[in-house]
Amino acid sequence: MPAVTETLETVQSVTQSGYKWGFETDIEMEMAPKGLSEDTIRLISDRKGEPAWLLEWRLKAYAAWKEMEEPHWAKVWHPPIDYQDIHYYAAPKKKPGPKSLDEVDPELLATYEKLGIPLKERAILAGVEGAGAEISAAPGIAVDAVFDSVSVATTFRATLAKAGVIFCPISEAVRDYPDLVRKYLGSVVPVADNFFAALNSAVFTDGSFVYIPKGVRCPMELSTYFRINARNTGQFERTLIIADEGSYVSYLEGCTAPMRDENQLHAAVVELVALQDAQIKYSTVQNWYPGDAEGKGGIYNFVTKRGACRGARAKISWTQVETGSAITWKYPSCVLEGDDSVGEFYSVAVTNNRQQADTGTKMIHIGRNTRSTIISKGISAGRSNNTYRGLVRITPRATGARNYTQCDSLLIGDQCGAHTVPYIESRNPAAKVEHEATTSKIADDQLFYCRSRGLSEEDAVNLIVNGFCKEVLKELPMEFAVEAQKLLAVSLEGSVG
Amino acid sequence: MSLVIDNLHAGINGVEILRGISIAVPSGEIHALMGPNGSGKSTLGYVLAGREDYEVTEGSVTFDGRDLLAMEPEARAAAGVFLAFQAPVELPGVGNANFLRTALNAIRRTRGEPELDAVQFLKMARAEAKRLHMPDDMLKRNVNVGFSGGEKKRNEVLQMALLRPRLAILDETDSGLDIDALKIVADGVNALRSPDFSALVITHHQRLLDHLVPHRVHVLAAGRIVRSGGPELARELEARGYAGLAAEAA
């Protein structure tokens, strides 16, 4: 039997044996009735105590959405989604804060434990009264855990507050920093930008808000753990990050989700705004439930992520490691408005079994001497399909603009697909655009070469895949690099290596 | 007795290539395997190392009494079998040092020996590279990527030196090498010589055998061993060519 076939079988047996992070938390939920209407939106807005302008904004998005059609240009397929068969609001029932961890719902704690959240942080996340104070001085990562739709708690607020950094659930930001939210919300991704962004704008329930003041280098990595946790609850996160002039922030987003049978819709929107000389580094490790080996279940991840470099020399850098979800539809993009601004996109997308990924980026060069770099690594195994789709647009004003794109695909087995769809539009003769693409297979002779040196087949695949992704993995912050390698090992060891 | 090949028949895609090979390579001995192109020399190397595309239809191979054919390729490596590839494979993005350390530690693990950390390993690897007159930067580069033909072969010798096999199979490692590089290959094998080490050296050239005096020389033609003898057999071949020998065998 050829080595690759055997690997795949090994891998499939591992995958089928179970999704490692597939657990479900049974917590009392308050849910809105199924379906989407103006009433649902009014209910969400009311539950969150929102100002009138935001309700109007939502209703405008809803009106636009009703007129729009689900996009079908991506190389993915799914059965029709019944948007009226989804709960658009679910929140853990509010009780007065527990006095100690003993009073916290053990299910919730167990979830945190499975997520690997340190004990002290668990207390804060669970909302234990007074738990935050003692560790506020600890260096490290600030976590704003989104437990389903409501941000349960935010940590490290004190350290951040000292630096003037605002890091809080977006619902709180609406209340506490309405001017900032109103100024920037929807300014990068307008309410009617696309079908899923319009849906998100209408019904988003929570997400994170970050503001870094002028000249401030955020003193720690910011991190959010998103979890999809309620049965049949679509999750609509809304994230807004603003880096004021000369500031810097690195934001880490990591995801795991419980195992379940029904497909779940996830349509998040992330907006980044980098003003003059500001830098935003946004890193994602996405490991949502991909469905079983036959393609049953799994998350539909239809996300709109976009950043705007609004001033000269601003820089936005996206790094993503996408291993999960049944379907990924995601194009983190940069609008390079400021002169000399820089956009970067580093991506590893892994698909196995019946997973489908259509992901890439858009680099819109508007300012002079704007530069962008795109490095995309797609890995397909099983019967999956993996598509890179990217747009590089050079507008007439963008004299001296430069882009470098590299798209590499790695195939494992002979039943998967890799596709590269680059769109290049240059309307300025003084711009330079480079595109390189390769497609390769993990060859039997590579595996045999490694095995003849003593490596197990699984280690061999791992080594080859990690080598293939190296240029992207090295862009991840240290905190994520290890987790990402582990994920590749699990989903690729379970799917490739 | 170290390696015993008995009446080995093997082929690929239903075509028989090895048609009943019997060779015994005792511990401490170096044997040369010569023969015209397409006679099955590389196939024998692959079959001994465990490449799965090849199907063994008859015969047996034992290594120190263990059934080699029943073992996975990585288990053979752990048992001390090493194949220096005729066409070493490229591994893009995989650092040579990282690859070698992963391999060495995998073997050490199965042998119950402690693993080497990066510092210990690099010290050892640099020393070996120096001994083989190889530049340090070969350790930093990606496995065989962008290597010249000669560099790839030397990299195989470096791997052999680090993994310290008990049975080395060299598949035309000397082909395409200049005289200096050829000497490095010979030195690499000679350095491993011990009562516990044996080697099967596949070559077309007498020149390598001048540096690496073999105990025995076997000639393979059309999947069979047609002659075996001492080192003088190689010199005879050099003078008369395979054609004369094949005519004699027929």
> How is chain B split into domains, by residue range?
3-249
> Which pLDDT score is estimated for A150?
46
> How many separate domains does chain A show?
1
Residue A143: name the closest of A133, A129, A157 by CA.
Answer: A157
CA distance A403 to B201: 51
Is A108 among the domain residues?
no
CA distance A28 to A25: 9
> Which pLDDT score is estimated for B250?
47
* Among candidates B85, B90, B106 on the partner chain, residue whose Cβ is nearest the Cβ of A454: B106
The answer to whether A467 contacts B93, with C-beta atoms less than 8 Å apart, is: yes
Give the pLDDT confidence of A197-216 residue by residue, as tens digits: 999 999 998 888 999 999 99
Using an 8 Å CB-CB cutoff, list chain B residues near A463: 91, 94, 98-99, 102
Q: Which domain holds residue A288?
A: 3-92+140-493
The answer to whether A467 contacts B92, with C-beta atoms less than 8 Å apart, is: yes
Is A489 among the domain residues?
yes
> Which pLDDT score is estimated for A156?
64
Is A120 among the domain residues?
no
> Which pLDDT score is estimated for A2?
37
Residue B82, chain A, CB below 8 Å: the answer is yes
> Which pLDDT score is estimated for A151?
44
- Report yes or no: A494 and A14 within 8 Å, Cβ to Cβ: yes
Is A118 among the domain residues?
no
> Which pLDDT score is estimated for B240?
83
Residue B50, chain A, CB below 8 Å: the answer is yes
> Which pLDDT score is estimated for A107?
61
User: CB pairs below 8 Å between A and B: how many?
Assistant: 84
Residue B191: name the closest of B164, B153, B210 by CA.
Answer: B164
- Report yes or no: A273 and A188 within 8 Å, Cβ to Cβ: yes
> Which pLDDT score is estimated for B78?
94
Is A371 among the domain residues?
yes
Kindly give, in sequence order, each residue whose CB lies less than 8 Å from that of residue B113, ignoring residues fewer than 6 positions away.
none
Using an 8 Å CB-CB cutoff, list chain A residues near B99: 450, 453, 463
Question: Which phi and psi angles does B195 have, rounded to 5°?
Answer: -60, -20
> Which pLDDT score is estimated for A6?
37
**Is the dihedral angle over the CA atoms A120, A122, A125, A130 positive or is it negative?**
negative
CA distance A352 to A355: 6
Give the pLDDT confidence of A422-476 residue by residue, as tens digits: 999 999 999 999 999 988 888 888 999 999 999 988 889 888 988 899 889 888 8
Using an 8 Å CB-CB cutoff, list chain A residues near B91: 446, 449-450, 463-464, 467
> Which pLDDT score is estimated for A140?
54
Residues of chain A with pLDDT under 70: 1-30, 91-101, 103-158, 224-234, 255-263, 479, 483, 490-497
- Report yes or no: B207 and B183 within 8 Å, Cβ to Cβ: no
Q: Which fold does the domain B3-249 belong to in CATH?
A: Rossmann fold (3.40.50)
The answer to whether A451 contacts B163, with C-beta atoms less than 8 Å apart, is: no
B210: alpha, beta or left? (left if phi > 0; alpha if psi -120 to 50): alpha
Residues of chain B with pLDDT under 50: 250
> Which pLDDT score is estimated for A224?
58
Is A151 among the domain residues?
yes
Instruction: Determine the residue among A408, A453, A461 to mutate to test chain B binding: the one whose Cβ has the most chain B Cβ atoms within 10 Å.
Output: A453
Alpha carbon separation from A158 to A166, A249, A313, A453 (Å, rounded): 10, 17, 30, 53
